[in-house]
Structure 1
Amino acid sequence: MTTRVPVLISGGGIAGLTAALLLQREGVYPVLVEKHAGLSPQPKARRFNPRSTEVFRLLGLAAEVAEASAPLASFTEVLTGPTLVEARARELSGTMRERRRQQARIPELSPGPNVLCPQAVLEPILRRAAGERGVSVRLGTELVSFAQDDDGVTARLKPAGGEPYELRADYLIAADGARSPIRTALGIPRSGHGHLADNLDLYFRADLTDLAREKPFNLCEITNPVASGAFLSVNGTDRWLFSTADFPDAPTLGDGDWHDVLRIVLGLPDLDVELLSRSPWESAMRVADRFRAGRVFLTGDAAHMMPPMAAAGANTAIADAANLAWKLAAVLAGTAAPTLLDTYHAERHPAGYAIAEASSTVRGHVGDMLAAYLKPESPHDDLLATMFGTQYPEGAFVPDGRAPAPAGHYAPAGRPGTRLPHAWLDAQTSTVDFAGPGLTLLTGPGNDRWTSEARRLGLRQVTVSHPGWLAEVCLPDDGALLLRPDVIIAWHSASATPLADALPRVLGTAPVPA
């Protein structure tokens, strides 16, 4: 007899693991399969922004992530030079000063920090948490085929060295990477700028502790006649990455050749170097035209492939997972209609496309991207608006009649379809912490009108008395906000739609008026 599960996730990277943990938080226990038994030989993504670390906070993993990112906490410098030894920080332009000013404001706006934590370090934390919390994580198991019908998805799974077997799931999440066999099987086309550059990452071990102590760099642009590109810090002591695009004959070069190249661009001719892995990769922008096909949902790189300069790929994947998990959980629990799942594409496709396009403004390797980013005349978006101020054009929320949030600067006002602003309510508690499980009604201190209403509608109610926060979200003392588990506001009491009518519209159980 074929086993049935609520959700099957194909892919055990950041997107798949985050989706699994968020589903479990909402009371759904998925099965996750990953064809590789071990971790990637490359560090992959490193920068996780506050929107992502807010998710880790909601998952109770903030302390572990902070500990894992501690080795690179002071590695903030961006350098440039012909070699790492000769590299120096660029003179700060007005653009760079503005970016640093914006970065300095992040602690005011989020309980989650910006962290440097290589994916190869973060994934074991997420994997361990998933297993400990009851998620079935099946490593070394590949999804080889699937078929869907009106009632579910039947997947054929193949463990390494074992016999294939079938699993039946209500829904399938494709978190299986940029080449996504699931997306390919569904025949979903992709749009965007396409190919931008071919790159090669050299992941190597070398003791640079003393040099790194002198210049704790996050990124270092290298312009050298032997090889141009960029160095990236992996652990700040003996593990590093050099990314280049200057070697079309790379397959013909052996480890000894690469050792020589690395010594030259490091500027340390006698350094002991060990090449741990080399990984060719394509810089490209390709966004799936559909993030949903029936009972199958695309997340992460399967949905949107983008260049790495804005460090947006993994962060966008986490936002996908946060958006999708609570919706699947609500439909599986019977509290929402299946039509709620249509809002995943409606919300995440325009967001994913915009982020991928913004990440594709420079065509070249990582060094080229970094050089363009550092140019004094380089255009820049408002970092805070980009990170915290995104507004969904339509989806699982009820507009309140106000004009859209400004695109050019961050000005939160509690609009439905935007992220809930952060405020510390005490030394440990942020307003963001009230997101999920399930929907939450946040009320001002004059909450008499809402207590019985929340009880009648089956909503958890939390009273917030912070005057500054209430003003920021345009909420009077007797006002209320409906908060989704992904920290997005679903309804504001300024709306002409009463809460009792708004709730079924958010959950898809009532038609949206024309």
Structure 2
Amino acid sequence: MADKGTGTGTIEVPVLIVGGGGCGLAASVFCSDHGVGHLLVERHAGTSMIPKAHYHNQRTMEILRQHGLHEAVAEQAAPVEAFAKVRWLTSLDGDRPLDGRMIHEMDGFGGGVLRERYSAAGPVLPTRLPQSRLEPILRRHAERQNPGRILFGHELVEFADEGDRVVVAVRDTRTGAVADIAAQYLIAADGGRTVGPALGMEMRGRPALRQITTVYFSADLSPWWREGAHMTHFLNPYNPGLFSNLFEMGPTWGKHCEEWVMHFHLPPDEAAGADEEVIVPRIREVLGLPGLDLNLLGVTSWTVQGLLADGYRRGRVLFAGDAAHRQPPTVGLGLNSGIQDAHNLAWKLAAVLTGRAPDGLLGSYEAERRPVGRHNIDWALSAAAHNQAILGAIGLGANTPPERREQMFVAYFDPSPLGAAGRARAAEMFATARGGYQAHDLEIGFAYEDGAFCPDGGPPPSREPLRDVYRPTTRPGHRLPHAWLDRGGRRLSTHDLAGAGLGFALLTGPAGAPWCEAAAQVAEKFSIPIRTARIGDGAEFADADGQWAAVRETADEGAVLVRPDNHVAWRSMGAGDDPAGALADAISRVLHHDSAPR
């Protein structure tokens, strides 16, 4: 799958990635790991200077772990205990009676009381690292694996899908030189700026929900800062227009954090004229720190959207990340979804480009990822609306009449039994925000209902309405449940059995030897690697904590086939009459071979 020249000045590569943000760089890493030759072009000279996305959920961290990136990210990232809380404050400090008061706090994002549950569900936990620090890690990794083929400062200027290939003209923004590139497939990870519009791809939904001004600044908040917060919402008792939220951005995490991001909900006319003279006093007023010494590092204004592309594929172009879906930052699904798009796509491109699967396999990318994108957008919109509804219900929202606002806050903090009852009622309402801050099932429990797997008619696990409880299952289309295994004194996860370089995996019970023998035959027939693992008493892999037996949902004689992206492709509840035939049929269907019944 190496690239080659045509002799006519056109560079040919199997895959061209347009866009070098988090999604595009992740796609490059994943393609390299799968042996997919590719070229990446990015119009900017370097990676993002603005923190942007900063929460990397458990599923994303599992993916980064699978591709050898977890340690590099974790080295700089905030561990889960450093962002275990979501808080609502009136301010950090101030000399008025209602200043510096804690309104409410709850555990979120895998921390606090959630940690045990998250730890049992996966081999790694979520982390926090701003995109401005994540992207350089991804870029270094991408360049090391694909030297000379990660081209920043190169923009796409012309584009054509010729049916059997995509041809583009790319301009070097420093020299003005233009190069022609031909690729068998193109991954559009450009945020929807160039490729989608050129193809007439529409983004539909809610294009302009509200305007957000994001302020990136440095300051020493250690005398006032309450450690352990993922986000801190500020509700000013005297001025509803000061509603905002604040996030640590490192590089030190906790009390001595140096850099911060604050989001303001400014009207468009105010946002357009926001400069240092406007922004700095506003930060000080929100925090209740009129004398705070701070350094403004950047100000951006952007529009909250809820948009989904008409399709995730158009001819030989595949859309990923913001080019396919854009959602509010609530629940932190944006970059996470983009990285997961790339992860879904990379192994399928590898299978098609090596001839192990027909082009039809790539159709499963849209079938699988687009419904997830739709649901994530809807969920983020719902969570954002609900957060505002909670504040309105307890009388602390922006719509409380100005003449009653301070009175409502005084009543909220009233030390009397009546005040305590009011806070207890409010706590019950705040608890419903777990659909945004504790959405574990949304993060790792999503499932594909149509695509590159073999449905077996099994019912999905029951789901809590607020998606705060994840229930593992081996039902095809779902993420493989994590369980710790032991092999010769080495501890590893079920997730370590499949992946780039490993291919598919077949996990069986201790009596699954016939399936393992069948896997060797099927692997040879289809020229694909299938790693086998018998798990249980007397088998090569010990079920370290009994966790696999609890979640496998098959008998000791059964088997679970796992795709390289750790989604379940097929399963047999017990022994089969013809293991080799059943497994061959499953692989044929998963890879979308023309001879397979669909």
| 1:209 partner SS | coil
Asked if residue 492 in structure 1 is aligned to residue 571 in structure 2, the reply is: yes
Partner secondary structure for residue 330 of structure 2: coil
Partner of 1:169: 183
**Residue 366 (structure 2) aligns with:** 345
Instruction: Report deviation, 1:221.
Output: 1.1
Paired residue for 1:25?
33
The 2-side partners of 1:59 and 1:370 are apart by: 40
Given the alignment, which residue of 16, 23, 30 partners 1:15? 23
Secondary structure, counterpart of 1:451 in structure 2: helix
The alignment partner of 2:224 has SS state of helix
Partner of 2:505: 440
**Higher deviation after alignment, 118-127 or 420-429:** 420-429
Residue of structure 2 equivalent to 1:274? 295
**Equivalent runs, 1:243-262 vs 2, <5 Å:** 243-247=263-267, 248-262=269-283
* Larger relative contact order (Cα-Cα within 8 Å, sequence gap ≥ 6): 1
Displacement of 1:403: 1.8
**C-alpha separation between the residues in 1 aligned to 2:589 and 2:391?**
47
The 2-side partners of 1:290 and 1:167 are apart by 24
Q: What is the CA distance between 1:442 and its match in structure 2?
A: 2.0
Which whole-Å CA distance do the structure 1 matches of 2:22 and 2:171 have between them? 22
1:87 to 1:6, Cα distance in 2 relative to 1, 3 A: farther
After superposition, the Cα gap between the structure-2 partners of 1:171 and 1:272, relative to the gap in structure 1 and judged at 3 Å, is same
Q: 1:510 to 1:243 in 2, by over 3 A?
A: same
- 1:425 deviation in Å? 1.1
Q: Distance in 1 between matches of 2:184 and 2:391?
A: 47
Which residue, out of 288, 296, 306, partners 2:317?
296
| Structure 2 residue corresponding to 1:378, chosen from 412, 417, 432 | 432
Q: Pick the aligned partner of 1:469 from 540, 548, 569.
A: 548
Q: Kindly state the Cα deviation for residue 380 of structure 1 after the two structures are TM-superposed.
A: 4.8
Asked if the contact 1:73/1:116 (under 8 Å) is kept, the reply is no
Residue 310 of structure 1 is matched in structure 2 by: 331
Structure 1 pair 369–210 and aligned structure 2 pair: CA distance change class (3 A): farther
Q: Percent identity?
A: 36
Matched residue, 1:153 = 166
Q: In the alignment, residue 60 of structure 1 is paired with which amino acid?
A: G
Contact 2:506 2:516 in 1 (8 A): no
1:460 pairs with 2:531: yes
1:58-85 deviations in Å (ceiling 9; x for gaps): 1112111111114785233322233233
TM-score under structure 1 length normalisation: 0.92
SS in structure 2 at match of 1:474: coil
Deviates more, 1:219-228 or 1:331-340: 219-228
What CA distance in whole angstroms lies between the structure 2 residues aligned with 1:116 and 1:469? 29
1:240 aligns with 2:263: no
Cα deviation, residue 449, structure 1? 0.7
C-alpha deviation, 1:376, in angstroms: 2.7
> How far apart in 2 are the matches of 1:385 and 1:210?
37
**CA deviations over 1:211-261 (Å, ceiling 9, x no partner):** 33x434321112232622111111142211110112432333431332111
Matched with 1:188 is 201
Shift of 1:100: 5.8
Conserved 8 A contact 1:417-1:488: yes
Distance 1:346 1:499, change over 3 A: same
Q: Aligned residue for 1:142?
A: 155
In the alignment, the residues of structure 2 paired with residue 349 and residue 238 of structure 1 have an alpha-carbon distance, to the nearest angstrom, of: 39
Give the Å deviation of 1:19: 1.1
Report the 3-state secondary structure (helix = DSSP H, G, I; strand = E; otherwise coil) of the residue aligned with 1:37.
Answer: coil
Quick check: 1:330 aligned with 2:351? yes
SS in 2 for 1:142: strand
- Residue 220 of structure 2 corresponds to 207
Gaps of 5+ in 2: 1-7, 94-98, 393-425, 524-529, 537-542
Change (3 A) 1:222 1:473: same
- Verify: 1:483 aligned to 2:562, yes or no: yes
> Match of 1:41, as an amino acid?
M
Q: In the TM superposition, what whole-angstrom CA distance separates every residue of 1:114-168 from its partner, at most 9, and x where no partner exists? A: 1111111111111101111125210111112211122211111111122111111
1:430 aligned residue (486, 489, 493): 493
Is the Cα–Cα contact under 8 Å of residues 13 and 184 in structure 2 kept in the other structure?
Answer: yes
- Choose 1 or 2 for highest CA Rg: 2
From 306, 327, 332, give the equivalent of 1:285: 306
Question: What is the DSSP-based 3-state SS (H/G/I as helix, E as strand, rest coil) of the residue aligned with 1:361?
Answer: helix
Change (3 A) 1:325 1:371: farther
CA 115–33 in structure 1, closer or farther in 2 if over 3 Å, else same = same
Q: Cα offset for 1:377?
A: 6.4
User: For 1:253 and 1:180, how far apart are their aligned partners in 2?
Assistant: 25
Distance in 1 (CA, whole Å) between partners of 2:482 and 2:278 is: 51
Matched, 1:223 2:235: yes
